[in-house]
Chains A and B, each alone.
Chain A
Amino acid sequence: MTSTAPQLGKNRRKKRGSVLGNTGLYLAVGIAALLFLIPFYLILRNALSTDPEITGENWKLLPSFQWGNISELFDDQTVQFGRALWNSTVVAVLMTVGTLLVCSLAGYGLARIPYKHSNKVFYVVLATLMVPTAVTFVPSFVLVSSLGWVDTYRGLIIPGLFSGFTCFLFRQYFLGFPKELEEAARVDGLGYWGAYWRIVVPNSLNFFAAIATITFISGWNAFLWPLVIGQDPNSWTVQIALSSFMTNQTVNFHLIFMATAVSILPLVFVFLFLQRWLVQGIAQTGIKG
């Protein structure tokens, strides 16, 4: 089961072992896949059930498909889920655009523009990788609250834009970008700025898509920072709203699970749609052994 042997030498043994081996292999993968899908099934089942169905004595495999739960969730004024959804969208989109812009420019500058002290600047960026941003949330909160940015989009978005790690990934990527393309652009009289926007960016869209997906997902799923910054329910993101449902006994089960389903669904689509680039991006940049 654990062998990773390539196809080449397999042909001879295929006839004898393959039917049995394949059945076992697919059985194992199939069971693992089912286990991994259970939580998704539970979300959908509970989201489309009534409360008595969820809490009933006997397990109901399929829900009674209460599509009305969707409109009930958005009509419920005490929950304000639409507002949270909007906040999360604004935060995740602006965060993605801002991070890509700021970090890719810096990564390109560090990788490709000759400057006497560029190595020193790079070490300053590397130093920030040592301290994960989650740990510095206390001092960051102190700073953001003295700027008066508590409960604002600015406070939610801007402190997260300057990711040393993303800048580092872009630098590594641009180091491997073919120089010939840029040289051709240079011959045509484009400066660094022109070459960057007209040649480098259009030829790096796969990489940008991968980083964009990762940034969007982490922006949408962020919890600790929005929890610290969002003190007024109007500035809550989806994650904070979900978290408040868990401790708040007044919200019904079916609404809680419908909210969870609604909060996950867009990401699952983004994820499935962009998976190819994401996998490539992780494989390329994640770790180089």
Chain B
Amino acid sequence: MSTTTTRGVAEATVAETSKSRPRRGLRSNATLNFWLFTGPFLIGLVIFVFVPIGWSIWLSFFDARYTVTPSHFIGFDNYKQILTNSNFPDSLLTFTVFAAFIVPTTWALSLGLALLVNQLRFMRAFFRSVFFLPTAVSYVAAALIWKMSIFSGVRFGLMNTVLGWFGVDNIAYLANPSPPWYWLVIVSLRLWIQAGFYMILFLAALQNIPAELYEAAEIDGAKRGWQTFRYITLPQLRATSTAVVLLLLVAAYQAFDEFFNIIGTKATWAQTPLMELYKAALGTSQDYGAGSAGAVILSLLICIVTLAQGRIMGFGRGEESK
């Protein structure tokens, strides 16, 4: 393990430089320093991460309406309530639909952009910046542009203006759930913000593919284009692809900002899990018990995804090789 070797080297170095001091003092010096460096972070981590998690697990078993220090233990009733009576299961379904749209499209778009940019010889930095720039824009600002300018349901929206040139009538993208035009709005927004970030990851991975592979393929008679892409580029990108897909999946679970601002919490459609939690805990009912129970369920789901990610990517294996 890495830490073992680090420790060995560090102790050896210190021991060499100051042989007069006893060994025990050295170790406690390192111990003291370890806590000096990590202490502030660990204290904060306990207070602001572990305490809330523990508190919320505790709250999820109590009748905690309008209170965060409840006394009435109700077992699994909060879980039952949020899984049967409320819209929380619907929101999990919404997330699944959303993820089914957004994960493959972002993957394909960011890979496509990376492949294009990677081939450029002039102005590569310029185009990379253009695609990367939306990463700096907040979901709120983007939601505002999408809702009030591009997909505005009235005549002056950009999309309706363009459609109008071809004689198509105005479309009210966000006014009602059928047909579900709002997915076009939501997915295109997230694509615009996310694609550039994942393009950077793919670009880095593309540049790590050894050139010899392509040369060898050419000698073997592989046609440049689809064949080299299918049999060299894509397999070489497998690790990055897996990581990108799982990062996208976890990000989709946590969608909130653009749904909150474009769809709103009053609508009956396209409510994400976090929006349901927001309404349960901070809406008019102030039911911290049910909200906490939902948070526990969602956390468990994300844990499963993350652990699967660890399995597939061999999380921690990289450390030993260092």
Q: Are B36 and A193 in contact (CB under 8 A)?
A: yes
Interface size in chain B (residues, C-beta < 8 A)? 127
Task: Known pairs A275-B132, A286-B201; list 20 more (Cβ under 8 Å).
Answer: A3-B228, A4-B118, A5-B228, A6-B211, A39-B146, A112-B6, A113-B30, A116-B31, A119-B3, A131-B299, A135-B277, A136-B52, A137-B274, A141-B282, A191-B29, A221-B137, A224-B278, A257-B149, A283-B203, A289-B239
Q: Are B56 and A142 in contact (CB under 8 A)?
A: yes
Also in contact, A130 and B306, with CB within 8 A (given A3-B224, A109-B38)? yes
Complex CA gap A115/B32 in Å reads 9
Q: Are A135 and B158 in contact (CB under 8 A)?
A: no
Complex CA gap A183/B15 in Å reads 12
Residue of B with least CB distance to A9:
B218
Residue contacts A-B, CB under 8 angstroms, 21 given: A2-B115, A3-B233, A5-B224, A29-B117, A46-B149, A54-B156, A102-B44, A103-B41, A106-B37, A114-B3, A130-B307, A131-B302, A136-B295, A139-B56, A159-B48, A162-B49, A167-B41, A257-B144, A268-B136, A272-B133, A282-B197
Q: Are A4 and B49 in contact (CB under 8 A)?
A: no
A residues near B205, Cβ cutoff 8 Å? 289
Residue of A with least CB distance to B138:
A221
Q: Are B156 and A186 in contact (CB under 8 A)?
A: no
B residues near A97, Cβ cutoff 8 Å? none
A residues near B228, Cβ cutoff 8 Å? 3-5
> 1/0 per position for B280-317, CB-CB distance to A under 8 A?
01100000100110110011001100110000010000
Residue of B with least CB distance to A186:
B13
User: Does A239 touch B at the CB level, under 8 Å?
Assistant: yes
User: Does B204 touch A at the CB level, under 8 Å?
Assistant: yes
Residue of B with least CB distance to A279:
B200
User: Does B134 touch A at the CB level, under 8 Å?
Assistant: yes
Q: Are A146 and B306 in contact (CB under 8 A)?
A: no
Q: What 6 A-B pairs have minimum CB-CB distances, sorted nearest first?
A: A289-B239, A109-B37, A139-B56, A114-B7, A106-B41, A283-B204
Complex CA gap A264/B45 in Å reads 31
> 1/0 per position for A102-123, CB-CB distance to B under 8 A?
1101101111111110110110
Q: Are B133 and A268 in contact (CB under 8 A)?
A: yes
User: Does B172 touch A at the CB level, under 8 Å?
Assistant: no
Residues of A at the B interface (CB closer than 8 Å) are 1-6, 8-9, 25-26, 28-29, 32-33, 36-40, 42-43, 46, 54-57, 59, 102-103, 105-106, 108-116, 118-119, 121-122, 124-125, 128-143, 145-146, 158-159, 161-162, 164, 167, 175-176, 179, 183, 186-187, 191-193, 196, 217, 220-221, 223-224, 227-228, 239, 242-243, 245-247, 253, 256-257, 260, 263-264, 267-268, 270-272, 275, 279, 282-283, 286-289
| Residues of chain B in range 33-50 having any CB-CB distance to chain A below 8 Å | 33-38, 40-42, 44-45, 47-50
Complex CA gap A118/B56 in Å reads 28
Q: Are B274 and A115 in contact (CB under 8 A)?
A: no
Q: Are A114 and B55 in contact (CB under 8 A)?
A: no
Residue of A with least CB distance to B201:
A286
A residues near B281, Cβ cutoff 8 Å? 138, 141
Also in contact, A135 and B148, with CB within 8 A (given A282-B200, A289-B239)? no
B residues near A143, Cβ cutoff 8 Å? 47-48, 51-52, 55
Complex CA gap A191/B13 in Å reads 12
Complex CA gap A187/B136 in Å reads 44
A residues near B264, Cβ cutoff 8 Å? 247
Q: Are B200 and A142 in contact (CB under 8 A)?
A: no
Q: Are A42 and B138 in contact (CB under 8 A)?
A: no
Q: Are B229 and A2 in contact (CB under 8 A)?
A: yes
Complex CA gap A152/B313 in Å reads 41
Residue of B with least CB distance to A140:
B52
Instruction: Determine how close the nearest CB of chain B comes to the CB of A266; give it in whole angstroms.
Output: 10
Q: Are B142 and A110 in contact (CB under 8 A)?
A: no
Complex CA gap A1/B31 in Å reads 57
Q: Are B133 and A183 in contact (CB under 8 A)?
A: no
Q: Are B303 and A36 in contact (CB under 8 A)?
A: no
User: Does B79 touch A at the CB level, under 8 Å?
Assistant: no
Q: Are B1 and A36 in contact (CB under 8 A)?
A: no
Also in contact, A158 and B48, with CB within 8 A (given A59-B161, A289-B243)? yes
Q: Are A228 and B282 in contact (CB under 8 A)?
A: yes
Instruction: Determine how close the nearest CB of chain A comes to the CB of B241; give it in whole angstroms.
Output: 9
Q: Are B140 and A239 in contact (CB under 8 A)?
A: yes
Complex CA gap A55/B154 in Å reads 9
Instruction: Determine how close the nearest CB of chain B comes to the CB of A227; give it in whole angstroms.
Output: 8
B residues near A128, Cβ cutoff 8 Å? 45, 49-50
Instruction: Determine how close the nearest CB of chain B comes to the CB of A197; give it in whole angstroms.
Output: 11
User: Does B84 touch A at the CB level, under 8 Å?
Assistant: no
Q: Are B161 and A113 in contact (CB under 8 A)?
A: no
Q: Are B139 and A287 in contact (CB under 8 A)?
A: no
Also in contact, A29 and B127, with CB within 8 A (given A224-B256, A242-B144)? yes
> 1/0 per position for B241-257, CB-CB distance to A under 8 A?
00110010010011011
B residues near A220, Cβ cutoff 8 Å? 138
- Return the contact of A186 from the options B17, B147, B302, B306 (Cβ within 8 A): B17
